Structure 1
Amino acid sequence: MEHHRFSHHMFVKASTRFAAFGIMLLGILGMTTFAENASAHGYIESPASRAYNCKILVNKNCGLIQYEPQSVEFQKGFPLAGPPDGKIASGNHHLFPELDQQSPTRWQQMNIKTGKNTFNWFLKQPHATTDWKYYITKQGWNSSAPLARSSFDLNPFCSVYDGGKTPGVNVSHSCDVPADRSGYHVILGVWTVHDTEMAFYQVIDVNIQGGNVPKPQPTPELVNGAVYQFVNTNSGKALDVFNGGTADGTNVQISSVNGSAAQQWQVWLHSDGSYKLINTGSGKALDVYAAGTADGSNVQIYSDNGTSAQKWSFSKHSDGSYKLINTGSGKALDVYAAGTADGSNVQIYTDNGTPAQKWTFTRVR
């Protein structure tokens, strides 16, 4: 009886070991096949793509793309074909879902300027090439939503036609980044293979410096000299002067709508198309502290002085809300961390199209 039990135990133990070995072997073979298939591809090395920044550990928590930045491959023909919306960054590859995560702070942003920029590809093994195209996100794109065709200007800002030639392992393109972009944007580079049905997709997270802020245009819905209440669409709270203060430097926040003078703003049109917003309770202007231009610069009230720190342009979104852009910085009026509680701070931040930067206004008088 004891011998039978011992034999059964040894059989089960041996079977378990063989099964574990089989699973391990399949895993090794699978990874080997994946690596062999991936060896003939390429990535954008400079400015570093999202995938390449994963490889060099600048981007964190990237998953398997860390080992295969050259393998973001899918059907060619973007934007009519190619990866589906929401899967553009990963090339719809089931092994790289992390690449499709999207927020204003998820990925390291590479500093570039408008105008001439050089895009450098490294090709693990070159292919005969039809062309290379570069797309950029629209002004006011939503950087918190998964990348979709609606995120991009679908007319490439740069195209290079190779007509079937096979490039070397290092490829460089000189392209003009549009002058009307600034702050956080995503550039999509597409390398189209000539003799297969595939293309390679690389997204680059960039912080564009030196962009030209579009000339402000008067907003027809605003009546010059009228008084308005401004409400953040994300929170339903009003643009508010803390504790109804009247001193220079009093903080600006959001707070529950209460109809007080602390939440009433008289708008005045400047000759350059921008506006100043004067709080009726204090007679002071909506102002960026110390004329700051960095993300997170605080917003306060301050004596009307006509500087760009107090000039704001309005731009209407398709949903009927508005973004308010400070003309001195090119940054949007923003609720810190998309806060919704009374007292959440108001600042300026790179225009990203999120609800934290969307405002409606109602005329009070």
Structure 2
Amino acid sequence: MKHSKLWLVLATTSTIMSPYVKGHGYISAVEKGVVEGRATLCKFSAKTGEKNIGCGPVQWEPQSVEGPDGFPEAGPPDGQIASAGLASFSNLNEQTSNRWVKRPIRSGMQNFEWTYTANHVTRNWRYYITQPNWNPNQVLTRASFDLTPFCVVDGNMRKPPKRTTHACDVPDRNGYHVILAVWDVGDTAAAFYNVIDVQFNGDTPDQGTPKWSQVGTITPTMDLKKGDAVFIRVFDSSGERPDLQTRLSIESKQQGQSNQWAQALAKKVHEADNSIQAGQLDGKGSILPVFGVNTIWVAKDSDIKRVEIGYDVKTSPAPADVKVTGLNSEYTIGDTPVELLLNVKSTDNADIIINVYNHAQESLASNKLSISKDKAQDIKLALSKSEPGHHMLVTRVQDKDGKLINQTTQDFMLVWKTTAPAPSDKYDFLFPENLKEYKAQTKVMAKDGHIYQCKPFPNDGFCKQWSKHTTQYEPGVGDSWSMAWNKLN
């Protein structure tokens, strides 16, 4: 068999573009952020190598944890706060004292960073934290949190840059707590909910515990088979130390389950060498192996610099690499349904499901196809609804057993079709120029290229009611434009 080895604060911003895929937004620690969100760590590893596992579909799109706004009076229901009420992200709602990676944090001023993949006009950001006596082994509810936000940042109804940092005064806490960061979008009835699992000073070795230093992580990212092996590789200042390697051979299907072998390896590390420990720190300062992510510690004065995880596993074929090309960044809405003309190619036999969603998560088109190795196939998707705004093309790749092996999301926009501008002698102003002069019978050229005339009294007063953030009476655009204007062409 082949094997292979509540304070109102000012937002500080950065205009560096995100290196990640398009979407919406999530709590990150790329530049100035102190901690990553739970969903973020489902896709990206922390600087320590730690990563959440068993997350479900959110591992493909942590930027999309979006639900109804209005928290805490409204918003996602209790028990579903972490998933924003989305059934597809329900794994995020699991809550125990050792289910998720915890990132170290101190009370006092800390920076929280958002990375946006599709930014929106913003009402505000709010940050909540669990009560001092919360129960980490119960699902998150409103009763879990202090519902007075410890930090509020005004969005001024503007779009933030692609990365934003908020300086917030974090309350005093001890041990494990959850912070809830809410991004309240201003141009939709939606908000983004990111929970953050944190461990406060006094309970984490790299923030106040003098005896231990963190040098690695046992992250159970996959199940193993009987005959496989997993081991730690230890490195000091001179290089790798094979004499300190600890190896676990998988002897049964049950032992090969990811959480099982992670705990077994951590326990074996304990038994092999007291100078290297693996597990999670409890409230008494002891390091205990757990069924899940185990941090690897060494004594503060140790010469060991890092510990990595190695595998000796049966060789498996690489999963199919599927490419979907032909998607434009923008499509114009016309008299017929918008059509997407795409080309799909795979490096291996694969079952592929392609869906189109609008920003409200409505499914507008779907196609399921089986494609052969190194073959390409053209497909056409006609959208069932064509409305302006943000849309997503989601491609899911499944193996022969129907198991998801990859998922990608591509973003595109639908825009109104514009007409050629009318001659300037047909209207008085280009909207919204000379706004204060608008009165009954005033004619304007709107952004859609059509001419509108201000209605007579008593509706003419609506014609002047416009700003960048108040557009309900904007001709041809606002929700209530017909109360103020008559369309002439």
TM range (shorter): 0.3 to 0.5
Structure with the bigger RCO (C-alpha within 8 Å, sep 6+) is 1
Greater helix proportion = 1
TM-score (norm 2): 0.36
Greater strand proportion = 2
TM-score (norm 1): 0.48
